[in-house]
Chain A
Amino acid sequence: MDWLYILMPISGVNIFWPGLIILGLGVGIIGGFFGLGGAWMVTPGLNILGFPMAFAIGTDVAQMAGKSLISTMRHGKFGNVDYLLGITMLIGTVVGVEIGAQMVMWLEKIGSVDKVVRWLYVVLLVLLAWLVFHDVWLRRKKEREAQAQNRELDKSATGVDWATKLQAIRIPPVIHFKYAGITCSAWLPIIVSLFTGWLAGILGIGGGLIRMPALVYLVGCPTHLAVGTDLFEVAISGLYGTASYAYKGRVELMAALIMLCGAAIGAQIGVVATKYVKGYGIRFVFGLAVLGCLMSVVLKLLQAEFPSAGWWLSPLATVEVLGFVSAISIYIAIRMVQGAKAELAAKKTAGNS
């Protein structure tokens, strides 16, 4: 079975290459659907497949740039990308990512990069999961109240609404983002992206996991626009991150290219699925994805704290990550196929009549 393994020229590790393609396919579907780079599953996934953590982060950033470019091209054709908002956010993202990447190098020198990255993941994921489910719960509550009063809830009604208050702070220059349909101070997206970029640089992710909900809850973007605009951001910041990590010698290009082959197919499935799923549907599944990610990181942390239990915690973490990625990917793929079938059937009916 040696042919299933390939020697990575830079890191010198033997890697199970079908695992890379499956990981790429899964991250492509999930990334295209949620507007994420998908590092939350790829970085631990690559680590599980055998890459050292620093290489896992760099390689992940590289594949993320290519995959997000594919997804952005598709979302752009749907009109889901507000390029002006994306470019405005780039300013903060680039500065933030560079500060974060420098911090990783410093942490690597003092030998605590793995622990810091994983603990940061945990705190962030707990907050995100709470935010998303709290929002969905509030929206449902409003729906129930509207039903009780025999009226229909406004389609634009949201659960958590911090964005309106933040948009009201009009520190000049004030900009109108046409596609997203929002008017706010340019400082709002810049500061939000500076913070999310900094976190992204440390965690070695494109920042989508943080920026997509930040665009929805802090900037006030509609969900579909947040997904597309975020992917545009992930693609650009991913390219910058790739340059940064490659210059530091932490990118295994061969692994990134193998993953891209799977991600190209997955990204199309994920993006097209957003045509058929409502915004709050995306938010709810996003919350589930965050929980899956949280579980995998906690299992990794437990493994580091209790090495004697590693013989069962390690395979459990692998099964959990791969199981979760598979389950969500299959769900999204099914929704895409169902939606496409219905669309094609409707076209056929319209053609016949």
Chain B
Amino acid sequence: MFRLRKLWTWAVCLALTLNFLAPSLALAAKAKANVVIVADTRKLDGLLYWWAEMYNESHLLFAIMTMIIIPFLGCILGWLADIVMNHIGIDLQHRDLAEK
């Protein structure tokens, strides 16, 4: 029991050390160049143009909008799919655990 605990502590310490050392090692390497991506809006119009413009102007706003749209659409689509499954007649409330 004591040896297992000691081994566990070692494993945890090693994992944590790796977590914090690895980024430092990567940072220590010579950097090539900063990667800056700008959306090309010349071929876009309407909603896509607005979206790309927002990306170019503020990544924060872009991130917030993405965070709102993804779960919202996920819930809507899940709800619609639920209706279809219920319509088929499958029991969507119960299941038996066959084994561990």
Contact = CB atoms under 8 A, between A and B. Distances in A.
Interface of A: 7, 9-12, 54, 62-63, 65-67, 69-70, 73-74, 77-80, 96, 99, 102-103, 106-111, 155-158, 165-166, 168-169, 191, 194-195, 198, 222-224, 239, 242-243, 246-251, 253-254, 256-257, 260-261, 263-265, 267-268, 272, 274-275, 277-280, 340, 343-344, 347
Mostly, the B contact residues are helix
B26 A191 contact: no
A239 to B, nearest CB: 7
Nearest to B60: A247
Interface string B74-96: 11011011101100111111110
Contacts of A99: 19-20, 23
Interface of B: 1, 4-5, 8, 12, 15-16, 19-20, 22-23, 26-27, 29-35, 37, 39-41, 43-44, 48-49, 51-52, 55, 59-60, 62-63, 65-67, 69-71, 73-75, 77-78, 80-82, 84-85, 88-95, 97-100
A247 B63 contact: yes
Contacts of A263: 77
Mostly, the A contact residues are helix
Contacts of B49: 9
Contacts of B37: 10-11, 249-250
Given A106-B27, A343-B90, A239 B71 contact: yes
Contacts of A103: 22-23, 26
A274 B99 CA distance: 12
A249 B55 contact: yes
Given A74-B78, A168-B1, A247 B59 contact: yes
B67 A69 contact: no
The 8 closest A-B pairs by CB, nearest first: A66-B74, A264-B77, A70-B78, A246-B63, A278-B98, A69-B74, A106-B26, A247-B63
